[in-house]
């Protein structure tokens, strides 16, 4: 991503249809103080801690698995219909640390591999590289995951003597594709995971942000057989600056001595060697936001969700206004989230992005940065999370001008 | 450390001469709010950011290398006489992440090994295990590091076809030994590192806490040849609950393409795959504390330093009061920090600790948890950081009763 950051830095005035960070519109530093006070009141008034104990909860190291696990579990029940034992929750430094810990735990020797639906979030491939765990990609197809291809990738890996340990995916408004799995695909995927003795690593940073339709149950909410390791992020729904994520890992693990334990406790052991624990002060900020909204981030994000929905609508309208339906420029229609994918009749590479930023003042992300399948060459990702509707209209106008130039 | 935590949990009333966390006596949650306000004023009044920009600095992800690097560099100049280019600083999630990143970066293949002065901090051995980097131990001897042994360990490793990449040590008031290196040893160690083309990983969480004598310069302050990677922690001197550490990595690295860069930037690349970045809110808390004390944590910790000094004095007096100078129980006399080591005329193992906690109500740490050299078997670590002087007196009385029981 260095090239992308560099381009963005070089053309700060260009319209940022590339940025994946959440809206900054409603940020107010005062909220951080409010959240911290709210969590302090929770500790003293609701949990009955003395001032001294509350102070220790803020200041000392605290549990490796985190101190807001009960609130995370309440949040999952309220927003996702997930019943999680708080002991199966590990609070992490962003979702990235959760991914890193899970991949490190799954990597026992050079026969282990992880599968990932392509195009894949770069944080996953980065963490996998760091722990020497090869990634085998699975086609997304029109349903968000091609289950036949998944079965085939598993079969091929096993034929090579490898152990496919898990398949990583974002079932809701995926980054970068914008795709979501329908309900039938979710059930079929869970069945396949059971049949093939595979874990599913469900990453869900954008699930709340629907563009209007009903939210589908997460894989974890449908998971009756402990096949799903749920990777949670409060970066988009809480506050990016708190760097709080978590993982629900309720799988049973058999130890070398024959005893059993929770996968969450295995992850905690690894975490103690990476970051020891997650800042209790940062956890307190997220806890306060959760408490302020009765444990629901759906409620906490009503303004943001509406804004992303309007922006996505606006982007789709602008694309339809500039490019004829039967023309060479195509795009998908996500049901929510931050992203959609545009397919051009020519390559959408870093060189074109440079021209776009320099001569046309609009930034986007070449899909090549997410996967190297042939179809990615002509694709680009657009994001609506940190732009105004005026910027979206103008950004698409500039993109259309760039494309017209190329086609001329 | 699981067993130790478990014992401490089972006997909560026992006197904690085992805990390594900092004093809780001066904690006040109000300080967190004050620090955050102070940093906000720094951003707006001193750096001229708009309210919107300051909000983004708190809320968004921020630089992977951290956002308070300038303040960290000022702090190092003020307190440690270290001149650090802010670009060579990577702010990390505690010093643990700094260690993890450095060890991961040094581990290129199975020929790499790291050296560590024994007894070694468990966080170092844990991180090394996680990245599959073997640890070869170097004797500490009476000077804190046995340089002849270091040279010999390097020689032996090279004879086996291995690459000793670095030697880890705590030159000041080490955990767990309490030992410090004298000035001549520091210079000799730096010379040896240059001669042997070795990095030194200097970990310095306790350097501020002298028991009265003058503070010696850190290795990094004496390092004119970029041999020292400095691992910094604000857990003991700032706030444990912020989980802020850092690394100064000003070494030049040659890339595969022949270009060069800073080791800090290599570490940042790895960090982007582990935690992406360190919570800017947590960084803001530490920044506020630094700013409140003119960049000096020596000043910020005057009360704490005095308390640790009085406690260490008290512990030494209590030991001298209970055990005759020519008797079978011996101990060292650290010049500061939290810890000292007692040597018994019999084994100080987990079984003895269990008896100590259950029957005598006093907790300590078997040195066996830090290294497996024969001399560790009879040793235990005492800590003075979270106890009162009354507790120290009573704790040593109880320890003496345990020892008398055993010798009877």
- Domains with residue ranges and CATH for chain B: 2-20+301-407 (3.90.1150.10), 29-299 (3.40.640.10)
Contact A241 B61 (CB under 8 A): yes
Percentage of chain B with pLDDT > 90?
A: 87
Give how far the C-alpha of residue B3 lies from the chain's centroid of Cα atoms, to the nearest Å.
Answer: 21
Contacts with B241 from chain A: Cβ below 8 Å: 58-62, 279-281
Q: Within an 8 Å CB–CB cutoff, is residue A63 touching chain B?
A: no
Q: Helix axis angle, A122-130 relative to A94-106, nearest 10°?
A: 40
Structure confidence at residue B20 (pLDDT)? 86
Other beta carbons less than 10 A from residue B76's beta carbon: 23
**How does pLDDT run across A186-205, given as a tens digit for each residue?**
999 999 999 999 999 999 99
Q: Does B54 touch chain A (CB under 8 A)?
A: yes
Among A44, A269, A282, A388, pick the best mutation site for testing chain B contact (most B Cβ within 10 A): A282
| Torsion, CA A45, CA A51, CA A54, CA A59, rounded to 10 | 160
**Which residues touch A43 (CB under 8 Å, ≥6 apart)?**
A49, A53, A54, A57
- B107 contact residues in A (CB cutoff 8 A): none
Categorise residue B34: left if φ over 0, alpha if ψ from -120 to 50, beta otherwise.
alpha
- Which residue in chain B has the smallest CA separation from A67? B241
**pLDDT of A63 strictly over 70:** yes
Average pLDDT of A89-109? 97
Q: pLDDT of B302-336, one tens digit each?
A: 999 999 999 999 999 999 999 999 999 999 999 99
B-facing residues of A in 146-205 (CB < 8 A) are: none
Q: Which residue has the tokens 């024959």?
A: A258
- Best to test chain A binding among B279, B287, B369, B388 (most A CBs inside 10 Å): B279
Lowest mean pLDDT among A300-309, B56-65, B92-101, B376-385: B56-65
**With bands split at pLDDT 50, 70 and 90, how would you rate the model's confidence at A4?**
confident
Mean pLDDT across A230-256: 95
CA A380, chain centre distance (Å): 19
Q: Quote the CA–CA distance of B125 and A272 in Å, as a whole number.
A: 12
Residue B5 has pLDDT above 90, yes or no: no
Closest CA to A396 of A308, A327, A322, A336: A322
pLDDT of A209 over the 70 cut:
yes
Chain A to chain B, count of Cβ pairs less than 8 Å apart? 159
The pLDDT of residue B81:
94
pLDDT tens for each residue of B342-362:
999 999 999 999 999 999 999
Kindly report the average pLDDT of chain A as a whole number. Answer: 95
Indicate yes or no: CB of A276 within 8 angstroms of CB of B28.
no
A118-A124-A127 Cα angle (round to 5)? 145
- Split at pLDDT 50, 70, 90, the class of B9 is confident
What is the chain A residue with the closest CA to B244? A279
pLDDT band of residue B1 (cuts 50, 70, 90) is low
Helical axes A280-292 vs A51-59, angle rounded to 10°? 120
The residue ranges of DSSP E strands in A170-237, in sequence order, are 199-203, 228-233
Dump pLDDT digits (tens) for B77-96.
Answer: 999 999 999 999 999 999 99
Q: Is the pLDDT of residue B2 over 80?
A: no
Say how far apart CA A198 and CA A193 lie, in whole Å. 5
Note the pLDDT tens digit of each residue in B280-300: 999 999 999 999 999 999 999
Tokens describing residue B226: 């970029």
Query: A239 in helix, strand or coil?
Result: coil
Residue A376 backbone dihedrals phi, psi, to 5 degrees:
-70, -20
Place of tokens 């910020």: B300
CA-based nearest residue in chain A for residue B128: A273
Query: Which residues face A231 on adjacent strands?
Result: A203, A247
Please answer yes or no on whether A29 and B40 come within 8 Å at the CB atom: yes
Q: From the candidates A275, A278, A283, A285, which should be mutated to test the interface with B, based on the most B CB atoms within 10 A?
A: A275
Say whether pLDDT at A372 is over 80.
no
Task: For chain A, say whether B255 makes contact (Cβ under 8 Å).
Answer: no
Question: Tens digits of per-residue pLDDT, B219-228?
Answer: 999 999 999 9
- Using the Cβ of A100 and the Cβ atoms of chain B, whether some distance falls under 8 Å is answered with yes
**Which pLDDT score, from 0 to 100, does residue B265 have?**
97
Which residues does residue A366 pair with via DSSP β-bridges, in sequence order? A380
pLDDT band at A1 (very low <50, low <70, confident <90, very high): low
> For residue A158, what are its two tokens?
């096993």
CB atoms within 10 A of CB B244: 32
Q: Please provide the average confidence, as pLDDT, over all residues in chain B.
A: 95
* Cβ contact, residue pair A273, B32, below 8 Å: no
Mean pLDDT, residues A28-57: 96
Q: How far is CA A152 from CA A196, A371, B104, in A?
A: 11, 19, 34
**Banded pLDDT at A52 (limits 50, 70, 90):** very high
pLDDT at site A148: 98
What distance in Å separates the CA atoms of residue B294 and residue B74, rounded to the nearest whole number? 9
**What confidence tier does A33 reach under pLDDT thresholds 50, 70, 90?**
very high
Number of other residues whose CB lies within 10 A of the CB of residue B224: 8
Tell me: the pLDDT tens digits for A268-301? 999 999 999 999 999 999 999 999 999 999 999 9
Question: Structure tokens of B239?
Answer: 């706030």
SS (HEC) of B330-359: EECCCCECCEEEEECCCCCCHHHHHHHHHH
């Amino acid at each position: 991503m260095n090239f992308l950051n560099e381009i963005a830095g070089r053309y700060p005035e260009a319209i940022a249809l590339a940025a994946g960070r959440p809206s900054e519109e409603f940020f107010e530093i005062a909220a951080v103080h409010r959240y911290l006070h709210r969590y302090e009141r929770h500790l003293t008034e609701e949990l009955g801690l003395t001032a001294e104990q509350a102070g220790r909860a803020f200041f000392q190291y605290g549990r490796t698995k985190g101190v807001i696990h009960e609130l995370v579990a309440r949040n999952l029940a309220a927003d996702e219909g997930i019943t999680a034992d708080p002991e199966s929750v590990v609070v992490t430094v962003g979702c990235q640390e959760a991914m890193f810990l899970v991949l490190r735990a799954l990597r026992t020797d050079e026969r282990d591999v992880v599968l990932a639906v392509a195009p894949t979030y770069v944080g996953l491939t980065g963490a996998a590289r760091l722990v020497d765990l090869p990634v085998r990609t699975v086609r997304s197809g029109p349903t968000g995951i091609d289950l036949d291809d998944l079965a085939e990738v598993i079969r091929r890996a096993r034929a090579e003597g490898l152990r496919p340990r898990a398949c990583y995916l974002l079932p809701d408004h995926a980054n970068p594709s914008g795709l979501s799995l329908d309900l039938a695909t979710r059930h079929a995927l869970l069945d396949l995971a059971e049949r093939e003795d595979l874990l599913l690593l469900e990453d869900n940073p954008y699930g709340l942000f629907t563009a209007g339709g009903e939210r589908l149950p997460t894989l974890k909410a449908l998971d009756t057989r402990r096949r799903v390791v749920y990777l949670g992020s409060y970066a988009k729904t809480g506050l990016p600056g708190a760097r709080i994520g978590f993982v629900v890992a309720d799988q049973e693990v058999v130890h070398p001595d024959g005893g059993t334990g929770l996968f969450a406790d295995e992850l905690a052991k690894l975490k103690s060697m990476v970051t020891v624990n997650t800042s209790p002060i940062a956890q307190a900020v997220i806890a306060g936001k959760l408490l302020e909204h009765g444990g629901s981030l759906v409620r906490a994000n009503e303004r943001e969700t509406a804004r992303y929905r309007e922006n996505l609508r606006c982007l789709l309208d602008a694309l339809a206004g500039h490019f004829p339906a039967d023309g060479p420029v195509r795009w998908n229609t996500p049901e929510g989230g931050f992203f959609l994918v545009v397919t051009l009749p020519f390559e959408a590479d870093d060189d074109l992005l440079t021209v776009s930023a320099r001569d046309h003042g609009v930034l986007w992300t070449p899909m090549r940065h997410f996967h190297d399948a042939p179809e990615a060459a002509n694709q680009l990702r657009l994001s609506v999370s940190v732009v105004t509707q005026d910027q979206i209209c103008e950004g698409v106008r500039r993109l259309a001008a760039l494309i017209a130039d190329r086609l001329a």
